[in-house]
């Protein structure tokens, strides 16, 4: 990589530092395009770090005073961008599973058939074949797949393949038979068993709560407890390595996860990413008491493994046509979505958890779902009093214009994932028309109204790489690129704002904005060094930008070779 300044200048910086009187740094980054996200001093050239804390930010000359030749590790950024470590505000993070069939970006349904056939040939009869991330709107046919796609190649194995949003699944006849799902099985509340309009037989697509009808997970591969735990361990370490490779230093997991596993990883000195783990939103007092014990064990004052927010689902997704709408879908006139609980139950859960001081984040895609959760949050303020609750709409994808100012008024965070925009825009107007699409993924309108915005990826629904989200936020264009100004370009963001929402905005969402999310003296030394100056990168190359260094707690946890 070509350096922007000669090595002799770096040497001069090292030599000049010997005369300084300041405490010497463990790590220094010099000759950088530093974007601090600190409005008081947004740009700098260099950073000094000691014992996991940023001790100075400023010019090369200033930081030279903190460098001790032979002891301070100096990274010459050579004009590359240096930003706060990415904080993914919404990622279903967990161990990487080597048996999972990856179907992301598949355009030919025949590929699904081939991959299931290959897996069936590798495993024993009765063992589960599972995978996902298929998107029927990407198929050349743009039609829902059916069990016919996989039945012939998997007669002796259960197959469960989840759609990319996780809110629908394709299963084969084996699973339908074992689960007792047939033409006479009624749709459960909040779910749908898709059936052939001619024969009435299940097609193999189960939406939302209908997936809970699946009664077979297949036979488990026989492994000892030690082998199973070792396999899981490797999956966690692989996942952490992937996150570090993308410059991610913090992740907020919506819902539950394995606290003990992360404790073990941390005890071994292998935790390279700060983790928030939540739990299920409930009004059950016994469960809430257990959550309170976890909250005390993993307090918000901690920096590594913390108890996060209580998560619930209000509706489904746009892609599965299960998002809650005030009016029917344009391409499905009899369908207004699938609520996952009644408003009365939602309000009870929110008021009860809010009374006990829990933060709440609710999955809300459609405008009616977002309206309902805003109403419930408002009711909680009326009943319990106003506090800095920072409740969250997880996704906040499709809104009505009248609800946009309510986010700021109620202190509700719009926890959003920019890639959903460029994934869903292919079919959004077909589903909901132009008028309703206008207030979809309305990041700028929300921010302009005073709302706090936090960005994440929704991994593994979408890729973990934040660069795809940055590209989506500043272009609102298809991943393959396209002419014009992008889809509803009035909602596009500057690169600075997009990075802010991936860092400081995400930190605000977890009550840590006073110690991370900015490159500022006294803040945690979570830093990402990119492969180039992203602020001058042409938009069609944003997704090619790599992470060269990931620094968590002042330690280099990833270095691109």
Distance CA 198, CA 445 (A): 45
By the 8 A CB rule, do 432 and 488 touch?
Answer: no
3-state DSSP assignment of residue 103: coil
E runs forming strands in 338-464: 360-364, 392-395, 413-416, 453-455
Residue-level pLDDT at 7: 47
503: closest CA among 549, 542, 469, 537? 469
The residues near 158 (Cβ < 8 Å, ≥ 6 apart) are: 126, 128, 129, 171, 172, 174, 175, 178, 216, 217, 218
Q: Which residues of 294-323 are buried (b: 16+ CB within 10 A; e: fewer)?
A: bbeebeeeeebbbbbbbbbbbbbbbbbbbb
Q: Which residues of 214-250 are buried (b: 16+ CB within 10 A; e: fewer)?
A: bebebeeeeeeeeeeeeeebebbbebbebbbbbbbbb
Give the bridge partners for 169, in sequence order: 162, 206
Distance CA 144, CA 168 (A): 10
Residue-level pLDDT at 220: 54
Per residue, what are the HEC states of 125-178?
CCECEEEEEECHHHCCCCCCCCHHHCCCCCCCCCEEEEECCCCEEEECHHHHHH
378: closest CA among 408, 417, 333, 340? 408
Q: CB atoms < 10 A from the CB of 363, how many? A: 26
Residue-level pLDDT at 229: 82
Distance CA 549, CA 555 (A): 10
- Please identify every stretch of the chain with a pLDDT value under 50, giving residue numbers as ranges: 1-20
Specify the CATH number for 101-213; select among 3.40.1280.10, 3.90.550.10, 3.10.310.70, 3.60.20.10.
3.10.310.70
Q: CB atoms < 10 A from the CB of 528, how many? A: 27
The single-letter DSSP state of residue 543 is G
Distance CA 295, CA 349 (A): 18
At what angle are helices 419-437 and 466-475 packed, to 10 degrees?
A: 30
Q: CB atoms < 10 A from the CB of 332, how many? A: 12
520: closest CA among 35, 61, 56, 77? 56
Residue-level pLDDT at 70: 87
Residue-level pLDDT at 71: 94
Find the distance separating the first CA and the last CA of the chain, reported in whole Å: 11
**133-180 pLDDT, tens digit each:** 999 988 999 899 999 999 999 999 999 999 988 899 999 999 999 999
**218-264 pLDDT, tens digit each:** 555 566 778 778 889 999 999 999 999 999 999 999 999 999 999 99
Residue-level pLDDT at 225: 79
List the domain boundaries for the chain: 101-213
């Amino acid at each position: 990589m070509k350096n922007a300044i000669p090595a002799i200048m770096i040497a001069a910086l090292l030599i000049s530092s010997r005369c300084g009187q300041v405490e010497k740094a463990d790590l220094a980054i010099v000759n950088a395009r530093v974007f601090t996200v600190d409005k008081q001093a947004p740009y700098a050239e260099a950073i000094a770090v000691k014992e996991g804390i940023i001790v100075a930010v400023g010019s090369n000359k200033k930081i030279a005073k903190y460098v001790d030749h032979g002891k301070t590790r100096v990274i010459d950024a050579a004009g590359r961008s240096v930003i706060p470590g990415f904080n993914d505000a919404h990622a279903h993070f967990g161990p990487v599973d080597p048996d999972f069939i990856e179907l992301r970006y598949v355009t030919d349904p025949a590929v699904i058939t081939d991959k299931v056939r290959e897996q069936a040939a590798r495993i024993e009869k009765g063992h589960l074949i599972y995978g996902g991330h298929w998107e029927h709107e990407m198929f050349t046919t743009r039609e829902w797949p059916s069990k016919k796609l996989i039945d012939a190649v998997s007669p002796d194995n259960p197959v469960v393949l989840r759609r990319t949003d996780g809110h629908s699944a394709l299963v084969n006849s084996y699973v339908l038979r074992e689960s007792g799902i047939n033409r006479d099985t009624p749709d459960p509340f909040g779910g749908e068993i898709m059936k052939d309009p001619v024969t009435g037989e299940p097609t193999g697509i189960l939406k939302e709560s209908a997936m809970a009808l699946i009664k077979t997970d297949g036979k488990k591969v026989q492994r000892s407890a030690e082998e199973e735990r070792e396999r899981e361990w490797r999956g966690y370490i692989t996942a952490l390595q992937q996150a570090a490779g993308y410059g991610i230093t913090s992740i907020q997991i919506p819902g539950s996860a394995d606290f003990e596993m992360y404790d073990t990883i941390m005890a071994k000195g292998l935790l390279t990413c700060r983790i928030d783990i939540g739990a299920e939103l409930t009004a059950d007092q016994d469960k809430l008491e257990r959550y309170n014990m976890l909250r005390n064990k993993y307090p918000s004052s901690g920096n590594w493994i913390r108890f996060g927010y209580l998560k619930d689902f209000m509706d489904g997704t746009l892609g599965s046509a299960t998002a809650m709408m005030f009016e029917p879908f344009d391409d499905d006139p009899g369908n207004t979505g699938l609520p996952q609980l009644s408003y009365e139950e939602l309000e009870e859960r929110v008021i009860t958890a809010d009374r006990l001081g829990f933060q709440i984040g609710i999955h809300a895609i459609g405008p009616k779902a977002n309206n309902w959760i805003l109403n419930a949050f408002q009711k909680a303020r009326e009943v319990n009093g106003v506090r800095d609750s920072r409740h969250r709409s997880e996704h906040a994808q499709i809104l009505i214009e009248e609800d946009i100012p309510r986010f700021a008024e109620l202190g509700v965070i719009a926890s959003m994932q920019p890639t959903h925009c460029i994934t869903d825009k292919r079919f959004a107007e077909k589903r909901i028309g132009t008028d309703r699409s206008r207030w979809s993924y309305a990041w700028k309108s929300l921010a302009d109204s005073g709302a706090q915005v936090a960005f994440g990826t929704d991994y593994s629904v979408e890729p973990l790489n934040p660069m795809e989200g940055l590209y989506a936020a500043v272009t609102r264009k298809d991943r393959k690129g396209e002419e014009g100004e992008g889809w509803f370009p009035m909602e596009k963001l500057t690169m600075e704002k997009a990075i802010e929402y991936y860092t400081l905005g995400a930190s605000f969402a977890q009550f840590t904005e006073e110690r991370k999310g900015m490159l500022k003296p006294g803040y945690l030394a979570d830093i990402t060094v990119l492969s180039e100056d992203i602020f001058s990168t042409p938009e069609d190359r944003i997704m090619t930008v790599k992470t060269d260094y990931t620094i968590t707690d002042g330690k280099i946890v990833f270095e691109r070779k």
